[in-house]
């Protein structure tokens, strides 16, 4: 029976890693496939939740003695430190693997060094197999660890002519139930949901991840963050209920920018210190404009309904653009129909200079 190639094993490891999306933070998503000396799959694993066994440990437990002399294929460099679990580098050495293939080096200085430890033990270490795919699957964690603030996704819902509400202020519902279900799934993959105080005052949202079919809450709830420079969030607001943790981020606590409002880079840095690796920016065209103007948005997910209003508030206000030459250029990376609506995913292009 023919063995599995390292490339095929890495593709499978990336699929496995994705199963941990939304439950591993502040740890990364990681997948591992173990091949025996003949190239047969003898173990698979992924990191399922923070504090739980790492992908390599799960795969090694499956493989047992069959790992000896084999190859470990892993999406991220095996950790080299003792945290809530022991170092994976040591476990691989003790299991007697002959080769370790890594897609992406670990950017975390606390945990990195696994490749060097493995090589020092006489194990062959190869880097760079399906790196782009593995990076994409772990983009939020990798980005936040490399720069020190969360990967930020701006989500909005609008009509085809860009309106987020009608002229009389009504906005329930711009998009379909299918799109709203999709949004709740998206909330379930991030560590924090951010909204401006204006949205809280106008709509009184819950900002929780829920099952819209029965109203039940998801097991894991993102931190709710209200950007509220002057502390105007009412005591009875739904974001203050016990359904999830909430942080009312004021200028007095976070620090104020030149405009006297909450300093947004300082806010993101504070969220990173709280363990937030991915955040979803929801609610507030002015707040969204401020984040975009500051160049702090990493990805945009827009739900566009097949409707026209012709008047009413727009989904985005004052993003620092005054002339066409200053437009924020985007790269569309996905367009998918969700119910009657379109979900458009785009990445802001990096500006020169």
CA-to-CA distance for 6 and 129, rounded, in angstroms?
Answer: 8
Is 88 marked as binding a ligand?
yes
| Secondary structure of 93-111 in HEC code, one letter for each residue | HHHCCCEEEEEECCCCCCC
| 210 known member of a binding site | yes
132: enclosing H helix or E strand: helix 131-137
203 assigned to a ligand binding site: yes
Q: Does 247 show up as a binding residue in the annotation?
A: no
Please tell me whether 173 is known to bind a ligand.
yes
Active-site entry in 8, 15, 44, 56: 56
Asked if residue 157 belongs to a known ligand binding site, the reply is yes
Q: Tell how far CA 230 is from the center of its chain.
A: 29
> Which residues lie closer than 8 Å to 282 by C-beta, 6 or more apart?
155, 156, 193, 194, 195, 199, 205, 207
The annotation status of 149 as a binding-site residue, yes or no, is no
**Two tokens, residue 321:** 């653009």
> Is 296 known to sit in a ligand binding site?
no
Report yes or no: 190 and 279 within 8 Å, Cβ to Cβ: yes
Q: Is 184 annotated as a binding residue?
A: no
CA distances from 233 to 193, 205, 258, 338 (A): 16, 12, 22, 33
- Residues with Cβ < 8 Å from 69, sequence gap 6 or more? 36, 37, 96, 97, 98
Tell me if 54 is assigned to a ligand binding site. Answer: yes
End-to-end CA distance of the chain: 55
Any binding-site annotation on 64? no
Instruction: Identify each DSSP E strand in the chain by its residue range.
Output: 31-35, 41-46, 71-76, 99-104, 124-127, 151-159, 192-196, 223-227, 246-249, 278-281, 299-305, 330-338, 341-348
Helix axes 6-18, 55-63, angle to 10 degrees: 120
Instruction: Give the span between the Cα atoms of 240 and 124, in whole angstroms.
Output: 53
**Is 208 annotated among the ligand-binding residues?**
no
Which position has the token pair 């002399």? 69
Task: Based on the residue annotation, tell me whether 135 is a catalytic residue of this protein.
Answer: no
Q: Quote the CA–CA distance of 136 and 123 in Å, as a whole number.
A: 27
SS3 (DSSP) at 265: helix
Residue 164, annotated as binding a ligand = no
130 is in an annotated binding site: no
**Active centre residues (catalytic):** 56
> Which residues are part of a known binding site for substrate?
171, 187, 203, 207, 210, 282
> Which residues are part of a known binding site for Zn(2+)?
54, 79, 88
> Which residues are part of a known binding site for NADP(+)?
157, 173, 199, 229, 284-290
> Which residues are part of a known binding site?
54, 79, 88, 157, 171, 173, 187, 199, 203, 207, 210, 229, 282, 284-290
């Amino acid at each position: 029976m023919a063995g599995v190639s390292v490339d095929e094993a890495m593709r499978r490891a990336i699929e496995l890693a994705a199963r941990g999306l939304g439950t591993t933070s502040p740890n990364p998503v990681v997948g591992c496939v173990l091949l025996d000396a003949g190239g047969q799959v003898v173990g698979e694993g992924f990191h399922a939740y923070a504090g739980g066994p790492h992908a390599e440990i799960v795969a090694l437990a499956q493989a047992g003695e069959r790992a000896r002399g084999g190859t470990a294929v892993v999406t991220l460099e095996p950790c080299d430190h003792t945290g809530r679990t022991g170092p994976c580098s040591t476990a691989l050495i003790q299991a007697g693997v002959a080769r370790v293939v890594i897609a992406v080096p670990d950017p975390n200085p606390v945990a990195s060094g696994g490749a060097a430890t493995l090589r020092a033990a006489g194990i062959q270490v190869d880097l760079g197999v399906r790196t782009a795919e593995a990076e994409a699957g772990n983009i939020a964690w990798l980005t936040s660890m490399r720069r020190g603030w969360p990967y930020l996704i701006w989500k909005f819902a609008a009509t085809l002519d860009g309106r987020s509400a009608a002229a009389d202020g009504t906005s329930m519902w711009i998009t379909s139930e299918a799109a709203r279900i999709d949004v709740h799934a998206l909330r379930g993959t991030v560590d924090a949901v951010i909204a401006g105080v204006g949205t809280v005052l106008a709509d009184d949202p819950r900002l929780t991840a829920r099952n819209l079919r029965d109203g039940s809450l998801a097991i894991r709830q993102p931190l709710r963050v209200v950007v509220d420079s002057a502390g105007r969030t009412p005591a009875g607001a739904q974001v203050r209920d016990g359904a999830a943790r909430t942080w009312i981020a004021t200028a007095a606590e976070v620090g104020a920018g030149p405009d006297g409002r909450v300093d947004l880079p300082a806010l993101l840095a504070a969220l990173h210190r709280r363990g937030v690796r991915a955040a979803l920016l929801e609610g507030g065209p002015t707040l969204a404009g401020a984040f975009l103007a500051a160049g702090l948005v990493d990805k945009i997910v827009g739900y566009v309904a097949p409707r026209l209003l012709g008047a009413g508030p727009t989904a985005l206000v004052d993003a620092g653009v005054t002339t066409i030459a200053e437009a924020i250029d985007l790269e569309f990376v996905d367009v998918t129909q969700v119910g009657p609506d379109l979900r458009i995913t785009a990445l802001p292009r990096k500006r020169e200079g």
